[in-house]
Amino acid sequence: MQVGAHVSVSSSRVSSDEETPPYDNIRNAVHRQLAFGGNCGQIFTTSPQVWKTRNIDDEEAEAFREGTEESDVGPWVIHSAYLVNLATPKDDLTEKSRESMQAEVDAAGKLGIDYVNVHLGAHTGAGVDQGLDNAAATLDSLDVPEGVTLLVESDAGSGTKLGGEFEHLAEVIDRAEQDLAVCLDTAHAFSAGYDLSSAGAVEETLAEFDDVVGFEKLACVHLNDSKHDCGTNKDEHAHIGKGKIGEDGMHAFINHDAIRDVPLVLETPTENGKGFAWNIERVRELRE
């Protein structure tokens, strides 16, 4: 079973026996994932809140690749910066988004990371069709290294954001020349109106996903419970089985035939005495 968390690459330690360099280093992700009990995971290469790319030197990249191989951790996902907006009609924002995404796929190639994950963004009034065209065009402008796959992520669907409907994901895949795949976020899908709170609801939602997008395009799952009800478009994650999706829904989702071999990456909170280690163990307990 492949389950892990979105981990930091910062120099701060998770535990006293964790060996991390005294500076931010991509290789820290491997130590941190193991400390949480994960065997796959996700990272930011730099702060997701600023337009800043990070130079990853050869030594740092080699240390990450060697640590990943020696620890048998993977696959890894790079999550793009939050500022990236593929659907925007604004030329300056499109160029910044393209430059940021090119840096991420280049980093993935250097680090031997399989996936770069990105939200489609918001069309901000340009309309759904134009926004989807914009997103596809920006993705097509990228020079993606061999072995790296771009993932478009499902969204909670608030405002003019795209990705809240499975059709948006399918349309971008169809319109783009890049070979794209999908990251399905359970909390986002639930908040967007796709019920996952019972075995029957999981079966119905995943059947719709297969019909619209296709399970063959599902490369990764962001496994998160939701603090808000289905269809509220509110994006706030909860501990596995402790939110509105709940234990029954999470159990059904994790054990669905279409999900069993898909990497599960947690973005659950650290609160109420629970963190990534607790949530990863809970997922393993729910898997039959």
| pLDDT class of 18 with cuts at 50, 70, 90 | low
Task: Enter the pTM of the model.
Answer: 0.94
pLDDT of 23: 47
What is the pLDDT averaged over residues 163-169?
Answer: 98
pLDDT of 9: 86
Residue 22 has pLDDT above 50, yes or no: no
Return the CATH fold of 3-286.
TIM Barrel (3.20.20)
pLDDT of 60: 92
pLDDT of 52: 85
pLDDT of 260: 95
What is the pLDDT averaged over residues 179-200?
Answer: 98
Q: Which long-range contacts (CB under 8 A, 24 or more apart) does 267-270 make?
A: 267/5, 267/6, 267/42, 267/185, 267/222, 267/224, 267/237, 268/5, 268/224, 268/225, 268/237, 268/238, 268/239, 268/240, 269/237, 269/238, 269/239
The string of pLDDT tens digits covering residues 137-162 is: 999 999 999 999 999 999 999 999 99
What is the pLDDT averaged over residues 36-51?
Answer: 93
Ordered by start, the domain boundaries in the chain are 3-286
